[in-house]
């Protein structure tokens, strides 16, 4: 009986130690200066495609409710940040968004619908390439967005 308990204890401890080691090894290390430079260059090379993808996904999101995305004007400046939990890079680009009310969406009578909206478009690097999910941080420029989400993001110089 004692031997079975000892074997179970040793086996359980070994499994826990191996799981901990695997978890530590799987965590992503922060990008080096070389990989940051490469990622920046890749962002600029793919920027036109990324902007088109952002607009496509944002337009299909149904957000904000009752509004349709008409146009997005992207600023030229890009702010790069690092996700504190994963170490992965993010790129934020200031945008000006034009919406129009969706017929029957409840926003037709809102006089502010036609106002241009400032926001930050978010792009992320998965370790290999840049992508986007079409999400915008409304009412914040990239610097403000990084400051606002300082628990999750840190500026990359």
Whether 103 is in a domain gets the answer: yes
Q: Considering the domain boundaries, does residue 43 fall inside one?
A: yes
pLDDT at 105: 72
Give, rounded to a whole angstrom, the gap between the first and last alpha carbons of the chain: 62
pLDDT at 10: 73
In a domain, 3, yes or no: no
2 lies in a domain?
Answer: no
Whether the predicted pLDDT of 143 surpasses 80: yes
Residue 11 lies inside a defined structural domain of this protein: no
Better pLDDT: 144 or 101: 144
Look at residue 5 and tell me if it is in a domain.
no
pLDDT of residue 120: 97
Does 124 reside within a domain?
Answer: yes
Per-residue pLDDT of 57-92, as tens digits, reads 999 987 888 888 999 999 999 999 999 999 999 999
Structural domain boundaries enclosing 82? 30-155
pTM, two decimals, is 0.75
pLDDT band at 25 (very low <50, low <70, confident <90, very high): very low
The predicted structure's pLDDT at residue 27: 52
In total, how many domains does the chain have? 1
């Amino acid at each position: 009986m004692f031997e079975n308990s000892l074997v179970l204890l040793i086996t359980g401890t070994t499994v826990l130690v191996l799981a901990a080691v695997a978890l530590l090894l799987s965590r992503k290390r922060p990008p080096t200066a070389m990989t940051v430079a490469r990622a920046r260059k890749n962002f600029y090379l793919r920027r036109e495609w990324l902007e088109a993808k952002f607009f496509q996904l944002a337009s299909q999101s149904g957000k904000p409710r009752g509004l349709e995305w008409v146009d997005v004007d992207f600023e030229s400046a890009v702010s790069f940040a690092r996700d504190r939990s994963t170490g992965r890079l993010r790129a934020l680009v200031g945008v000006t968004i034009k919406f129009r009310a969706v017929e029957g969406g409840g926003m037709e009578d809102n006089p502010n619908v036609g106002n241009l909206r400032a926001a930050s478009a978010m792009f992320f690097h998965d370790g290999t390439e840049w992508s986007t999910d079409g999400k915008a941080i409304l009412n914040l420029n990239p610097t403000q967005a990084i400051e606002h989400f300082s628990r999750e993001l840190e500026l990359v110089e």
